[in-house]
Amino acid sequence: MKKFIKMMALTAAAIGMSAGAAVAEPLKVGFLYLTTPGDHGWTYAHELARQEVQAHFGDKVETTFVENVPEGPDAERVVRELARQGNQVIFGTSFGYMDPMLKVSKDFPDVKFEHITGYKRSGNMATGNIRFYEGRYVQGIVAGMMTKTNKIGYIAPFPIPEAYQGLNAFAIGMREANPNAEIMVIWANTWADPVKEADAAKVLVAQGADVMAQHTDTPAMLQTAEKAGIHGFGQASDMKEFAPNAQLFSSVNNWAPYYIEKIEQVLDGSWSTGDGPNHWAGNTWKGMADGYLELTTFENMPANVKAAAEAAAAKVKGGHNIFTGPIKDNKGNVVIKAGDALDDGRLWSDVFFYAEGIQGEMPG
């Protein structure tokens, strides 16, 4: 209902086209946004990256975006429309666009589809993602060292693989730093509802948490932490403004290198999803080492914690696999054996457990 299509027709391109035939047609690239960049989180990061894409390629590329695209059947209509308008590359920036995009991709075999955070691929649909969990591992280490009550609050979004990767990486880091700390998890069942997130944070504070982490998008949790005089981590973009004394650091998503790399591949004709099982070659999944995930300055923590955080970040950048066994779940069962480590495929299928240190039962 409230979606308006914004055409980012480039003046440069328009002038170029009217000037004559010598200028090549720009490559048209479409983006689907779940909300508007006004979320100051997830979509905001995508919008920043889109602007960088435009600046990087100039008049070689013409980008279009559609805001407020609901996940589900409505998304299919928008994807189809973008394809019909002649967009040769379409980036869908939310998990729920997966099936609609896959469906449309079959009807437009010449269009390249890039779905973010999903796992379904085809000959012309690739996937891209950031290793968010790497930042959460560092957060876990810092949280474990910072906590005095040994109670850490964690606001999770929906029980999907990505959320489990993050939660478990956080728990693994936390237990490496502090084997006595426990995590209280609240599944908010939303990506962005500031009031609910603030309520969840207040509840966690009431229950004794003195460090909080979030996988939801708004700064509400950090503001609550600031008010309560405790600490927390920002999500998706730097949230220091909202909580100058509470934010330890934020994990910031940087999609620009991914977009630029993929568009360059399309321009030079090397874009491919491979033809192996599930087109695994079409998956781009990078993290801190490649600048896809950036950590803001470590603040509001003693020097020894900061040193540990820097060491952990360096270790991750150096290729350390966080999900290296032995790893136990919170009932003491070994879920990843000693000498075993989760590869990229298993990170999507074998992460459905509560690692040691997480309280309670997994949601059904």
Given the rule CB under 8 A, which residues bind other proteins?
A: 1-2, 35-40, 44, 153, 184-187, 189-190, 192-200, 202-208, 218-220, 223-224, 227, 241-242, 359-361, 363-364
Q: How far is the CB of 246 from other proteins (least distance, A)?
A: 12
The DSSP line for 66-101 is E-S--SSHHHHHHHHHHHHTT-SEEEE-SGGGHHHH
For residue 171, the minimal CB distance to other proteins (Å) is 14
Contact yes or no for 332/355 (Cβ under 8 A): no
Shortest separation between residue 196's beta carbon and other proteins, angstroms: 7
Q: Measured between alpha carbons, how far is 231 from 247 in angstroms, rounded to an integer?
A: 6
Give residue 260's Cα distance to chain centre: 17
Closest to other proteins by CB, 25 or 361: 361
Please tell me the distance from the alpha carbon of residue 33 to that of residue 46, in angstroms, as a whole number: 8
Question: Cis ω on the peptide bond leading into residue 326 (within 30° of 0)?
Answer: yes
Contact 212, 179 (CB under 8 A): no
CB of 225 to other proteins, least distance (A): 12
Nearer to other proteins, 40 or 175 (CB): 40
Q: C-beta of 229: minimal distance to other proteins in Å? A: 14
Q: Which is nearer to other proteins, 147 or 283 (CB)?
A: 147
Among residues 171 and 186, whose Cβ is nearest to other proteins? Answer: 186
Query: To the nearest whole angstrom, how small is the minimum distance from the Cβ of residue 179 to other proteins?
Result: 19
Lookup: tokens for 297:
């300055």
- For the bound state, the minimum distance from the C-beta of residue 27 to other proteins, rounded and expressed in Å, comes to 29
User: Between 221 and 288, whose beta carbon lies closer to other proteins?
Assistant: 221
Closer residue to other proteins (CB): 190 or 324: 190
Residue 184 or 252: the one with the smaller Cβ distance to other proteins is: 184
DSSP state of 356: T
Q: Closest approach of Cβ 63 to other proteins, in Å?
A: 19
- Contact predicate 309/141, CB 8 Å: yes
Tokens, residue 90: 């379409």
Q: Which is nearer to other proteins, 85 or 207 (CB)?
A: 207
Smallest gap from residue 180 Cβ to other proteins (A): 17
Q: How far out from the chain centre does Cα 216 lie? A: 10
| 2 φ, ψ (degrees, to nearest 5) | -100, 40
Q: Which is nearer to other proteins, 57 or 187 (CB)?
A: 187
* Residues contacting 98, CB < 8 A, separation 6+: 92, 115, 118, 119, 120
Dihedral sign (CA 362, 42, 2, 102)? negative
Nearest 5°: phi and psi at 277?
-60, 130
Beta bridge pairs of residue 211: 152, 231
